[in-house]
Amino acid sequence: MAMPTENTRTDGPPIERASRWILAAAVTMAIASMAMPATAETAPQDEVIGYVKTAVPDAEVVAAMNTSNTATTVKAVPGTPVRRGNSLRTGPAGSMGVTFKDNTIISIGPDTEVSVDDYLYEPSKGDLKLGASIGKGTMQYVSGVIAKLKPEAVAIKTPTGTIGVRGTKFVVKVEPTP
């Protein structure tokens, strides 16, 4: 780790403090990003990849950690954008449905948490990927263009294993065992 050198010191204390702060922030972000789920490098994190189409409260869209170190949670209503890395979360009476750019549909029931870890849809470049994880609850998946063009690029993870899709519709339920 490089600390400010003699050269930077000649610029005076405020700059030294500032550069230290920047260093600390950079290291923090680097470590935090290592701890976060891997996402596609080629596409921006904030790109809208789908929209909430149906929602019954409590339902929310949770953004992964951003550069200002805060997770943002927005109430899900029809029209709420969903971005790569977002999680879909519902309470005991909630449900919601999302349609993605490639026409993949994910809908979830109550007490559910699903994160969309990976999403790439650039058919002209052959960049196709859909990775989602269900931590708990119930979910229906209806495949879209990504699964049609490149089935092996779709993976739905659960705490006990992975579902690979071959162009299809299925439901999955994850619950704690007694």
Partner 1 sequence: MKESSPLRIGMPLPRLGRLAWLATNTVVLASLLAGCATPPPPAPVRYSATVVLLDNDDGTTGKVHVSGSGGMTVLDRSHEATFIGSPTGTTFDLNDGQLQKDFGPALAASPIPPTHFLMYFDFGSTKLTAESRALLPKILDEVGKRPAPDVSVIGHTDTVGDDPVNEALGLSRAKLVADMLAAGRKIEPSKIALESHGKRNLLVPTPDKTVEPRNRRVEVTVR
Q: Which residue ranges make up the site for partner 1 (CB under 8 A)?
A: 1, 3, 20, 24, 27-28, 31-32, 35-36, 51-56, 64-65, 69, 71, 77-79, 95-99, 101, 103, 105, 107-110, 112, 124, 134, 136, 138-140, 142-143, 158-177
Nearest-approach distance from CB 82 to partner 1, in angstroms = 11
> What is the smallest separation between the CB atom of 48 and partner 1, expressed in angstroms?
9
Nearer Cβ to partner 1 (40/104): 104
CA distance to 39, 67, 107, 147, 150, per residue, from 63 (Å): 14, 12, 18, 25, 27
CA distance 77 to 98: 10
What is the identity of the amino acid at 148? K
Burial status of residue 50 (CB atoms within 10 A of its CB: 0-12, 13-18, 19 or more): buried
- Pick the closer one to partner 1 by CB: 146 or 165: 165
Q: How far is the CB of 128 from partner 1 (least distance, A)?
A: 15
Amino acid identity, position 35: A
Please report how close the Cβ of residue 172 comes to partner 1 at its closest, in angstroms. 5
Q: What span, in angstroms and rounded, lies between the C-alpha atoms of 80 and 31?
A: 30
Closer CB to partner 1, 42 or 177, in the complex: 177
